[in-house]
Amino acid sequence: MVVTLQHGHQATMEQIPSAYETALRQYDRAVSRMDIDDNAVEYLRWPQREFSVNFPVRRDNGSIEMFSGYRVHHSTVRGPTKGGIRYSLNVTLDEVRALAMWMTWKCALVNLPYGGAKGGVLVDPKTLSLGEKERLTRRYAAELIPVIGPQKDIPAPDMGTGPQEMAWIMDTYSMTVGYSVPAIVTGKPLNIGGSEGRNEATGRGVIICMMEALKRQGVHNNAGIKVAVQGFGNVGSHAAEYAWENDFRVVAVSDIDGGLYNADGLDIPAVRAYMKANRTLKGFQGADFITNDELITSQCDVLIPAAMEGQLTERNAPHIKAKLVVEGANGPTTTDADDILNEMGVTIVPDILANAGGVTVSYFEWVQGLNSFFWDEAEVVRQLSNIMVKAYGEVAHMVEEQRVDMRTAAQMVAIKRVADALTIRGIYP
């Protein structure tokens, strides 16, 4: 499956592979460099379980509308599955398959006892009232009851969802089983068992990886580094603010409508406050308004794609000026763009490493919920930093040992852990 896009008024057409095609190409590239049993290689190519649902939601005007949703479990070899739920009109089963596979590698890379899962509902959440969103979330959660559970599959927020949706899912599951089960989801509000530092975790992890990459490149002056962030949702906005707090010069940010650029640096707290008040970056004073394409190729040292998959392609990759790409989103770079950027000498910190902060703190939240014992934010940040830096070091070691790019190295580390677990467990029956 390919999506064909027309870029501007050019006559040429660009074919962008689906997220699942990209995930499989990355997987094949990694395992081709590894000594793994062919049976394990074939086994891990396939999702273990795919769940599709069609369900009714009552609109505020009394009418009934049908919605479609998915939940995919890629692997349970290393433990229960873990992964977010997104609300988007772009949700497809192929996309959810890819995201579930990437979650398996991400959890294995940071050595969490999880396999990968992902879910989604085909809906634009901006078109729903609060009541409609609650009814949709609760009905979708009810449809998932057979496949989710604190020891089976633990959902979390993703694009278009947040703490409130997780609270509704927790309550729906708890009402079904007859007692409160905080560990059924992560990313919950603090007052019902959420973890300190969870909302900021993915963005914070992105910047931890960025700083580790820069340190290994011999960079010590943060103020001299220009950072551009594509996407200003939960991941991108927190990444931009954490970079700003660490004295980096954040020169560009963008949302779905376009972005802002100021070569002298943006006041990120002011941008976040404007975004919260206006739900758009348009109209913010003190910066030039640019397109998302212009942000990707803007004058910067570090590019953080934190929006959607398939943003860096063979079309725009040759024009990227950043020498370091840190992937805040899942699958933002196609394999063709990977090849171009690697040839250009650009370092790419891959998604399964760079944005693993979210699932890492989700793991902390799950552990805290199971034990009813909670940590303060300083402990969460300390543990997160330790895990991210250790995983970065393991990937860097694989890069040097195997002479491969960082994405292939990260997948090799992760796939080996899953394959080893599969080998020692064996095949049932």
Q: What is the pLDDT of residues 177-211, one digit of tens each?
A: 999 999 999 999 999 999 999 999 999 999 999 99
* pLDDT value for 14: 57
State how many domains the chain has.
Answer: 2
Q: Are 77 and 414 in contact (CB under 8 A)?
A: no
Place of tokens 């467990």: 425
Residue 363, domain member (yes or no) = no
Q: Is the pLDDT of residue 220 over 90?
A: no
**CATH number of the domain within which 230 lies:** 3.40.50.720
* Same domain membership, residue 127 and residue 88: yes
The pLDDT tens digits of the residues spanning 232-283 come to: 999 999 999 999 999 999 999 999 889 999 999 999 999 999 999 999 999 9
Residue 107, domain member (yes or no) = yes
* Same domain membership, residue 259 and residue 219: yes
* Same domain membership, residue 213 and residue 168: no
* Same domain membership, residue 333 and residue 231: yes
* Same domain membership, residue 319 and residue 175: no
* Same domain membership, residue 156 and residue 76: yes
Exposed, middle or buried by CB within 10 Å (0-12, 13-18, 19+), for 155? buried
What is the mean pLDDT of the segment spanning 408-423?
98
Domain that holds residue 275: 201-354
215 is catalytic: no
Can you state the angle between helices 93-109 and 357-371, rounded to 10 degrees?
70
**CATH number of the domain within which 93 lies:** 3.40.50.10860
Q: Is the pLDDT of residue 2 over 70?
A: no
Q: What is the pTM of this model?
A: 0.93
Among 82, 106, 118, 188, the active-site one is: 118
The pLDDT tens digits of the residues spanning 150-165 come to: 999 999 999 999 999 9
Single out the residue in 354, 386, 419 at which a domain terminates.
354
Single out the residue in 307, 338, 354 at which a domain terminates.
354
Residue 339, domain member (yes or no) = yes
Single out the residue in 153, 181, 209 at which a domain terminates.
181
Q: Is the pLDDT of residue 13 over 70?
A: no
* Same domain membership, residue 175 and residue 208: no
* Same domain membership, residue 172 and residue 206: no
Place of tokens 């972005």: 259
284: amino acid identity, one letter: F
The pLDDT tens digits of the residues spanning 27-43 come to: 999 999 999 999 999 99
The pLDDT tens digits of the residues spanning 132-151 come to: 999 999 999 999 999 999 99
* pLDDT value for 17: 84
* Same domain membership, residue 301 and residue 222: yes
* pLDDT value for 3: 39
The pLDDT tens digits of the residues spanning 323-358 come to: 999 999 999 999 999 999 999 999 999 999 999 999
Helix (H) or strand (E) holding 50: strand 49-58
The pLDDT tens digits of the residues spanning 98-114 come to: 999 999 999 999 999 99
What is the mean pLDDT of the segment spanning 293-306?
97
Looking from the CA of 363 toward its CB, the CA atoms found within 13 Å total 23
What is the mean pLDDT of the segment spanning 51-66?
98
Residue 407, domain member (yes or no) = no
What whole-number distance in Å separates Cα of residue 222 and Cα of residue 248?
5
Residue 413, domain member (yes or no) = no
* Same domain membership, residue 104 and residue 214: no
State the CB neighbour count (10 A cutoff) for residue 8: 6
What whole-number distance in Å separates Cα of residue 329 and Cα of residue 306?
4
The mean predicted confidence, pLDDT, of the chain is 95
